[in-house]
Structure 1
Amino acid sequence: MADTHTAENQTAGVSEQDVRHVANLANLELTDQELPRMVRDLNSILNYIAELNQLDTAAVAPMAQVGEMLGLTPDGAGNTLRPDVVRPSVDRAAVMAAAPETDGRFFKVPKVIER
């Protein structure tokens, strides 16, 4: 993606070539009408992010978990979060035995993406 530098901020511009490349990687087929609209929309998003990056957040406390703000802690004090405890998982051999097709270690599935 091409970079455009200004005195106030730095914004990245998305070209039609960039969108075609990403669409190809994602196996998406964009029509000739969708391509310019996608370029415009992605550039609009990047410009908005550049605006947000200019905000002074020095006085804003960092948030690790939104649940902490709501008083939801896994300490059993009447909250809705369950405690994070290690529990046994399902038996791998039993799961593989019930699978329609397996090599004993992995599930075998039909190929779905053709390239």
Structure 2
Amino acid sequence: MVFGLLSVIFVYMELTPELVDHLAHLSRLHFSDEAKKEIQEDLQKMVAFVEKLSEINTDGVAPMLHMGQVFNVLREDEVKGSIDRTTALKNAPGASDAFFRVPKVIKK
């Protein structure tokens, strides 16, 4: 369905040098005339590829969000022991009340 919609859009879209200039302006990029011609040719190839994809019969094929299977590779959370605040502050080079003291890093 998506490729069909893109195909309809691209059929009516002519890739002109003016369109390449407009895209370059929107992107805040500057290209030589030779580069613009090359970009126009590349865009035409991309549009042709999408048009070719729209010819594929996808009836009965479920839409995909990703090209492959995505699995959650994160481990399960486990409750583990940790040192208490008092022990952590004893190991610190400097402490003030319940906080670590660190050298000043912002000059004012």
The TM-score with structure 2 as length reference comes to 0.51
- The residue number in structure 1 matching 2:45 is 44
Deviations 1:54-85 (A, max 9, x none): 10011322234567x35x25xxxxxx1368xx
Identity of aligned residues (%): 24
- The residue number in structure 2 matching 1:81 is 74
Query: For the structure 1 residues 65 and 50, does the alpha-carbon distance in structure 2 shift closer, same or farther, using more than 3 Å as the test?
Result: closer
Tell me if structure 2 keeps the 8 A contact 1:11–1:47: no
> More relative contact order in 1 or in 2 (CA 8 Å, sep 6+)?
2
| Structure 2 residues without counterparts, runs of 5 or longer | 1-9, 77-104
- The residue number in structure 2 matching 1:24 is 25
Radius of gyration: which is bigger?
Answer: 2
Distance in 1 separating the partners of 2:46 and 2:74: 34
Tell me if structure 2 keeps the 8 A contact 1:14–1:43: yes
Greater share of helix:
2
Alignment of 1:30-109 (within 5 A): 30-64=31-65, 69=69, 72-73=71-72, 80-81=73-74
RMSD: 2.9
SS of aligned partner of 1:46: helix
The TM-score with structure 1 as length reference comes to 0.49
Aligned pairs, how many? 70
